[in-house]
Amino acid sequence: MIVVIKNDAPQEKVDELKQMLEGYGVTLNLSVGTHSTVIGLLGDTSAIDADLIAAQDIVEAVKRVQEPYKKANRKFHPENTVINIKPGVDIGGKSLAVIAGPCSVESEEQIIEVAKRVKAAGANFLRGGAFKPRTSPYSFQGLKAEGLELLKIARRETGLPIVTEIMSVEHLPLFEDVDIIQVGARNMQNFEMLKELGKIDKPILLKRGLANTIEELLMSAEYIMSGGNENVILCERGIRTFETYTRNTLDISAVPVLKRLSHLPVIVDPSHAGGLPWLVEPLTKAAIAVGADGVMIEVHNNPKKALSDGAQSLTPDQFDNVMKMVKKYAAIGDRTI
């Protein structure tokens, strides 16, 4: 961290500031020029509140040099994290995760039919929403606990590990037998929930918030990891911009950026990012080409009657076609599905 002092700062104020900064346990490095004085802070600055330093009268500017995250930082963990989900099934490394299934679990028949179809096409995980975050209180809110039970039945039938979203820390006991717990975009900064998820050891799929920066996503991962749970999978699912043709704007660059800054696996959700079924295939191809560790795709046996997000779901037949392309692109990068 670098602190730039105003030109006209009286020496005693500078001395006070230096004392304050030394209180953080860092070493100071002073560079006095004719027009400005610069103080370099050396050591671990991740717990220092840059805004507070900027609030001091004599400070012109504060610039961070180090990233504020540690556990999620590739600098301190150069190897890729590979998360083992069940024997022979990993996320990260050479594995390419294909997580597919309906937006909402609607019935036993539906979830089993979809699970069988996506497995046959080559998916290695089943997704399905039991608790559904909906913008309107008048929309279908999910089958809740019953939905979780139906997912487990589908898992038993197909062997696919299941991924499903948690919406409140109170529901955590219900998720004990789930394979991967998803934190949705709207809860990416629900810090109380992140803290609780840091106390368990189940893999957490953490979706980037609509208006959250890459650094904030890593700080939310840091919340979970600093609690002790290092099994975090990051997910890019589109950010909110001025463009309205697509539901959100898939920030494809975030994938290589996240993989450079962090050792955690990164997957992409092309269904939510675009919000249009015909965008799923090209965005999936782009996600694999750019280096993602997996994709998460909505598939519904009858999108026209889906109780949520039908407009963006693929039919099982369309998913079959997408998987053919997935396999071609995976082959270039020697990825295994």
* Chain residues 8-37 in contact with a copy of itself, contact rule CB under 8 A: 27, 29-36
Is the CB of 158 or the CB of 308 nearer to a copy of itself? Answer: 308
Q: How many CA atoms lie less than 13 Å away from 224 in the CB half-sphere?
A: 31
Find the binder of a copy of itself among 18, 60, 93, 149 (CB under 8 A): 60
Q: How far apart are CA 221 and CA 195, in angstroms?
A: 10
Q: How far apart are CA 204 and CA 180, in angstroms?
A: 6
**Amino acid letter for position 131:** F
Q: In 3-state terms, what secondary structure has residue 304?
A: helix
Is the CB of 20 or the CB of 120 nearer to a copy of itself? Answer: 20
Find the binder of a copy of itself among 214, 264, 322, 330 (CB under 8 A): 214
* Number of residues engaging a copy of itself in binding (CB under 8 A): 109
Is the CB of 82 or the CB of 279 nearer to a copy of itself? Answer: 279
Q: Which residue has tokens 């020029």? A: 33
User: If phi over 0 gives left and psi between -120 and 50 gives alpha, with beta otherwise, what is residue 71?
Assistant: alpha
Q: How far apart are CA 234 and CA 319, in angstroms?
A: 23
Minimum Å gap between C-beta 336 and a copy of itself is 18
Q: Which residue has tokens 């560079």? A: 31
Q: Which 229-258 positions form the footprint of a copy of itself (CB under 8 A)? A: 239-246, 249-257
Phi, then psi, of 101 in degrees rounded to 5: 155, 180
Is the CB of 89 or the CB of 311 nearer to a copy of itself? Answer: 311
Q: Which 97-136 positions form the footprint of a copy of itself (CB under 8 A)? A: 131, 133-136
Find the binder of a copy of itself among 61, 109, 201, 336 (CB under 8 A): 61
Please choose, out of 81-89, 109-117, 150-158, 216-224, the segment that lies near a copy of itself by the rule CB under 8 A.
216-224
Torsion on CA atoms 100, 304, 150, 247, rounded to nearest 10: 50
Minimum Å gap between C-beta 89 and a copy of itself is 25
- Is there a contact between 165 and 183 (Cβ–Cβ < 8 Å)? yes
Q: How far apart are CA 296 and CA 127, in angstroms?
A: 8
Here's the x/- map for a copy of itself, 135-154, by CB under 8 A: it reads as: xxxxxx--------------
Residue 165 interacting with a copy of itself (CB under 8 A): no
Find the binder of a copy of itself among 25, 65, 145, 159 (CB under 8 A): 65
Q: In 3-state terms, what secondary structure has residue 91?
A: strand
Q: Which 272-331 positions form the footprint of a copy of itself (CB under 8 A)? A: 273-274, 277-279, 282-283, 285-291, 303-313, 328-329
Is the CB of 30 or the CB of 120 nearer to a copy of itself? Answer: 30
Minimum Å gap between C-beta 98 and a copy of itself is 16
**Amino acid letter for position 6:** K
- Is there a contact between 89 and 124 (Cβ–Cβ < 8 Å)? yes
Find the binder of a copy of itself among 92, 147, 209, 265 (CB under 8 A): 209
Q: How far apart are CA 268 and CA 326, in angstroms?
A: 13
Find the binder of a copy of itself among 73, 124, 182, 190 (CB under 8 A): 190
User: In 3D, which of 281, 272, 266, 285 has the Cα closest to residue 317?
Assistant: 281
Concatenated DSSP letters of 204-233: EEEEPPTT--HHHHHHHHHHHHHTT---EE
Please choose, out of 56-64, 80-88, 116-124, 157-165, the segment that lies near a copy of itself by the rule CB under 8 A.
56-64
Find the binder of a copy of itself among 19, 22, 25, 55 (CB under 8 A): 55
Find the binder of a copy of itself among 15, 19, 22, 49 (CB under 8 A): 49
